[in-house]
Structure 1
Amino acid sequence: MPEHRTTADSTTAGTTDTATAAGTATTAQPGAEPLTIGGSTFGSRLIMGTGGAPSLEILRSALLASGTELTTVAMRRLDPGTQGSVLSVLERLGIRVLPNTAGCYTAGEAVLTAQLAREALGTDLVKLEVIADERTLLPDPVETLDAAETLVDDGFTVLPYTSDDPVLARKLEDVGCAAVMPLGSPIGSGLGIRNPHNFQLITERAGVPVILDAGAGTASDVALAMELGCDAVMLASAVTRAQHPALMATAMRHAVQAGRCAWQAGRIPRRHFAEASSPVGGVADLDPERPAFR
């Protein structure tokens, strides 16, 4: 299990654009420890995406409400030089950019996209996405593993989007990935975590952060991911396509903290039968046939 440290919690989002979108409290609170990926530390365990937002202003409001400090940008769909772009919003908010290789179908395409992103943005962080199928947007395990190994050798801090296969997650860690990002269900589906058992197998054995990537539809999905031992959650459509994106982002922020607190606290075992919560010893005998009742 990755090391967990304690830090300050994020407070309710304000109205001004600041380096940490939701601000930072001065005292540590349970469930609000920082997230460390490679050599970088983040005060929020909620990673946001930018796809699907109706407008840049709605995106800005949602990012502020989420408290995120790391947000993905699809490099193949972005012109870094465009004024008034997603990048300018992130720069104004002081949120770190996590370039991703969305839209790539081969390891070669993904490696080239990551290299171009590093040159354009000056960051070694990359969210690796290599898609196998255009309809399901499921990751290609062979191409993903190949690209991950190449990028790690090239000095990148690699966060791969992968299936919920525990064996593949371990192989990605073994080649040097700084985190693993298994999907809960297909991108944008909102189906939540379809295989909680596999997620628990991954989190129990991982030596790097495990980040839920894809499939969350609402706050309960996010809380479950954290209860299963995930270190963080990556969200895009669940927030940007919600009826009220900023409000949903607030719910997701609280769900991350609540789920992590529950995981740290340790849930009670599941049982087939009831178990009384009150002690049975010393209970008064109220049998009406006893002498005290005569």
Structure 2
Amino acid sequence: MTAATESACGDDGLRIGNLLLSSRLIVGTGKYSSYSLMAQCLEFSGADCVTVAVRRERLFDASGESMLDHLDASRYTLLPNTAGCFTADEAVRVARLGRELLRDIGNPGAEWVKLEVLGDARTLLPDPIGTLAATERLVADGFSVLVYSSDDPILAKRLKEVGAVSVMPAGSPIGSGQGILNPNNLRICLEYLKQDDPGYPVIVDAGVGTASDVAFAMELGVDGVLLNTAIAHATNPAQMAHAMRQACLAGRQAFLAGRIPKRLYATASSPHEGRIAAMSSEQDPERNLTLSAASTQEIARNSKAL
């Protein structure tokens, strides 16, 4: 789809604070078997914003090759991610390291952070108390905070109130591939976060398993989807990246177009008025006689056969 076609369809891209992205799909850079495969998948996804976990061992592979050698910093907005942090203190420290790293290479994502403060290693669900505390501190420190959250509408509302530029509720646990487990909670999150602020960006983060999950999330009315494992661990990662791109576009257009309401009973696709209907025997006596004669002949033939 060309930019002109997207504009004609009513979608001018994803705006988060003062950042405007052409794609509503944000893709992670972890879990790929090689940096070259990662680069290919990013290309196929159409994303112009990618997350980077701020860990030295994540920026260099076993041979010492740098991830940044495969990311065009002039093309992609790099979004530092505090993945793997379990306390507010640790997340704040990692966010500041990410800011220094991206300032050195002149990337616009330097003042941004995708905040994660995890509750435990088994579920990788967010710690609500630590997440709220870290959000407040990072906002006060000048960061634009996109914050990973559960699908709890009350927590989502509180995170926005303390200054998060985007709340990112999980569809299901990170890397689980279970898709959108609680669409009604997401609907309530959207209602609360967009009340009196319809442009506030709500992005589904985590749990997506395949393209239909992305399309469904977008059809609910979220502004974007962030994913990683669903592409990196697919049988054909590059093909899945392309599928996710198309699903994101299709889901957004379906939301903008407006789905029909669900009904208990069928609704005919053709109008009742003007249809060609058979006349009753009372209305057409001649037709009735013709049918009677034909029926008599059929009975006679059947009798001979017996």
Whether 1:268 aligns to 2:260 is yes
Task: Say whether the 8 Å CA contact 1:31–1:257 is kept in structure 2.
Answer: no
How far did 1:99 drift? 0.4
Instruction: Choose which of 262, 270, 273 in structure 2 pairs with 1:278.
Output: 270
How many pairs are equivalent? 273
Residue 25 and residue 279 in structure 1: after superposition, are their counterparts in 2 closer, same or farther (change >3 A)?
closer
CA offset digits 1:234-273 (Å, max 9, x no partner) = 0100001111111101000000010001111111111111
Partners in 2 of 1:84 and 1:290 — Cα distance? 89
Instruction: Choose which of 67, 82, 103 in structure 2 pairs with 1:86.
Output: 67
CA offset digits 1:177-200 (Å, max 9, x no partner) = 110111111111100000011111
Alignment-derived partner of residue 146 in structure 1:
133
Residue 248 and residue 31 in structure 1: after superposition, are their counterparts in 2 closer, same or farther (change >3 A)?
farther
State the Cα RMSD in Å: 1.9
How far did 1:91 drift? 2.3
Structure 2: runs of 5+ lacking an equivalent: 104-109, 195-199, 287-306
Whether 1:164 aligns to 2:151 is yes
CA offset digits 1:55-82 (Å, max 9, x no partner) = 1111111000001111011103546588
Please report the TM-score for the alignment, with normalisation by the length of structure 2.
0.84
Partners in 2 of 1:79 and 1:217 — Cα distance? 23
DSSP-derived class of the 2:15 partner: strand
Whether 1:65 aligns to 2:52 is no
DSSP-derived class of the 1:137 partner: coil
Instruction: Choose which of 230, 235, 250 in structure 1 pairs with 2:227.
Output: 235
Alignment-derived partner of residue 296 in structure 2:
none
Partners in 2 of 1:235 and 1:255 — Cα distance? 13
Task: Say whether the 8 Å CA contact 2:17–2:165 is kept in structure 1.
Answer: yes
The aligned runs of 1:149-228 (5 Å cut-off) are: 149-207=136-194, 208-228=200-220
The aligned runs of 1:26-37 (5 Å cut-off) are: 28-30=7-9, 32-37=11-16
Amino acid at match of 1:36: R
Partners in 2 of 1:180 and 1:137 — Cα distance? 17
CA offset digits 1:111-143 (Å, max 9, x no partner) = 111111111212111000000010111100110
Alignment-derived partner of residue 31 in structure 2:
52
Alignment-derived partner of residue 3 in structure 1:
none
Whether 1:113 aligns to 2:105 is no
After TM superposition, the structure 1 stretch with the greater mean CA deviation from structure 2, 247-256 or 113-122, is 113-122
Percentage of matched positions with identical amino acids: 51
DSSP-derived class of the 2:209 partner: coil
Alignment-derived partner of residue 18 in structure 1:
none
Residue 226 and residue 27 in structure 1: after superposition, are their counterparts in 2 closer, same or farther (change >3 A)?
closer
How far did 1:32 drift? 4.5
Task: Say whether the 8 Å CA contact 1:183–1:214 is kept in structure 2.
Answer: yes
Rg larger in structure: 2
Structure 1: runs of 5+ lacking an equivalent: 1-8, 11-23
Task: Say whether the 8 Å CA contact 1:158–1:178 is kept in structure 2.
Answer: yes
Query: Hey, which bits of structure 1, 4+ residues long, moved more than 6 A?
Result: none
Residue 48 and residue 137 in structure 1: after superposition, are their counterparts in 2 closer, same or farther (change >3 A)?
same
How far did 1:280 drift? 1.4
